[in-house]
Chains A and B, each alone.
Chain A
Amino acid sequence: MNYLMHLMVYFEIFAIVALSLNLMLGYGGLLQIAHAGYYGIGAYSATLLWVHFGFGFIPGLILAGVCAGFLSLLVSLPARRFKGDYFVMVSIAVQALIYAVLYNWTSVTNGPFGISGIPKPEVLGVEFSSTGAVTLLYGFIALIFIGVISLLKTSPFGRALQAIRDDELAAKSVGIPVNKLKMQVFAIASALVGCAGGLYAAYVSYIDPTSFNLNESILMLSMVVIGGVGNIRGPLLGAFILITLPEALRFVALPDAIAANIRLLIYGVLLIILMLVRPQGLAGNYRYQ
């Protein structure tokens, strides 16, 4: 039971990760391979705010989101001319830089040894120390984020993004400020994943740079692409698959040594097959242009 709830917490965190990446890829048309980096920025800033500056859980979390969002602005202000492949390259560069900073700036991040003893979530004086309590709290937070995202999707903002995705030139020609909107969606997505990073840090109470490297970013991207982009159920399905696939594989009684490989292998095969037959993902509705 406890284990199920543990999985549930992970699902809730990754649901936010997937939904935010979907904001970028499915709504903004921005293929980003640095999401784990922003997730890491969120995790580290929240941790530092909680541990060193005595911030409360919620204020620290919000500020962590702000930090990640702010960083995305630093990247996208100059990067607005980078389209397509160049945006991908810039995002890989950003991922590498974030990782290098987390790994090397030992005086602040404690480098490869990571930071431990991160306090459990505490809201209005109530400490959420049991896994069950965290499940509820994180579920609530995830629902708020889902609400915000659906509000955005159905708003004129969402419609303008959809227009950009359909046809960027036509969008410009009707007066939609394309670069600004891309920057905004990038910032919102980064802020959300920054919060998710904070939630992760508070739950596991120990973070180190390896959770935020390029491979993690690739995994996050695969999760969203497999689940599907352009709506809300797609990314949720992706997060669900990411969490449950290892559990499902347990039943097949694979040798321990290769279980992880098989899981990733399935991911790789799924990515290829989906791109060939259903590029919008299992439950997505985004038609790539």
Chain B
Amino acid sequence: MVVNNDANLLTKTQTAKSVIKKSGFSKLVVENIALSFGGKQVLKNVGLELLPGQVGLLTGENGSGKTTLLNVLSGFLKPEAGQAHLIKEGKTIDILKEESDGLPLLGIARLWQDIRLFHTMTALENVLTAAPSIGINPFRAIFQPIKVRQQEKILIKKALNWLDIMGMKERSGSSGDKLSLGQAKRVAIARLLQTGAEVLLLDEPLAGLDQAASLQLVNDLGILAQETGKALLIVEHNQHSIIPIADYKYELVNGVINTTELRNRDDVA
């Protein structure tokens, strides 16, 4: 049954490929990140690397600082020390110098542990918020309504495509607070994809899902990384579910990362 679904998704992904540009970035490098909360050193010396198409599993005990690391990499917290760079088309972007709302456009975006869909909007509108659109400038919205509409059509197509890839096209009209947990996560991932970011940080995407849904999502994520060349850093407490698709395991223990290279991702390919 799972296999069937896989095949199904693969074809969907392949049809989508025409629209999706291959990834433009070449490397994410994180080094020596340190951060403490009120004297409590949560991250001591954290480093990791990801290449396009790779999946990193970030694991560790509850409270070991996984979310905190994602907060740093998505610009929501500034660490006390360390570097994080995104090397992209020959340029080096200093992640720690950027504002959180600028990073998605530069290529790095995150999924929240508590999902955070916009609850007054439909799934499609949720995804559309993530599109860098000319109509976000109020003057263009007023004075060039036609141009904005035209671009909007393209963006809607793109959004529906991402929803389709995440298997949520049928729910595109549902309001954000009417979706089940699993559906909401998939919509949130589609929203993440719409940002155009090439490095996706996913905070516990499997939490709260049952076995079947969990397997399905892991498979979809694996395919996504392969087909689109996006790099995924997936936080997951229960490492066994992600290991099949992961290239690296990063385990956070006492503020330091233990890296394990995993060889068994050929299963998926």
Contacts and interface: CB of A to CB of B under 8 A. Distances in A.
- Do A and B interact directly, with beta carbons closer than 8 Å? yes
Interface of A: 148, 151-152, 155-160, 162-163, 165-167, 169-179, 181, 184-185, 188, 287
A35 B134 CA distance: 29
B191 interface: yes
A174 B195 contact: yes
Nearest to A174: B130
B192 A151 contact: no
Interface string B95-114: 00001111111000110100
A157 B129 contact: no
A174 B194 CA distance: 9
Given A159-B129, A169-B76, A174-B195, 17 more contacts: A151-B141, A155-B138, A156-B135, A163-B129, A165-B120, A169-B116, A170-B117, A171-B118, A173-B100, A173-B109, A173-B110, A174-B104, A175-B101, A176-B101, A177-B136, A179-B101, A188-B138
Contact of B119 (A166, A174, A184): A166
Contacts of B125: 159
A158 B119 CA distance: 15
Secondary structure call for the A interface: helix
Given A159-B125, A174-B191, A175-B109, A166 B118 contact: yes
Contacts of A156: 128, 131, 133-136, 141, 148, 152
A172 B103 CA distance: 9
Contacts of A159: 121, 125, 128-129
Interface of B: 74, 76, 99-105, 109-110, 112, 116-121, 125, 128-138, 141-142, 145, 148, 152, 191-192, 194-195
Nearest to A172: B101
Nearest to A156: B135
Given A151-B141, A159-B128, A169-B116, A174 B121 contact: no
B100 A163 contact: no
Contacts of A287: 120
B118 A163 contact: yes
A172 B142 CA distance: 24
Contacts of A162: 118, 120-121
B101 A177 contact: yes
Given A159-B129, A175-B130, A184 B116 contact: no
Contacts of B138: 152, 155, 157, 184-185, 188
10 contacts: A156-B128, A156-B148, A156-B152, A159-B128, A159-B129, A167-B116, A169-B116, A175-B101, A175-B109, A184-B138
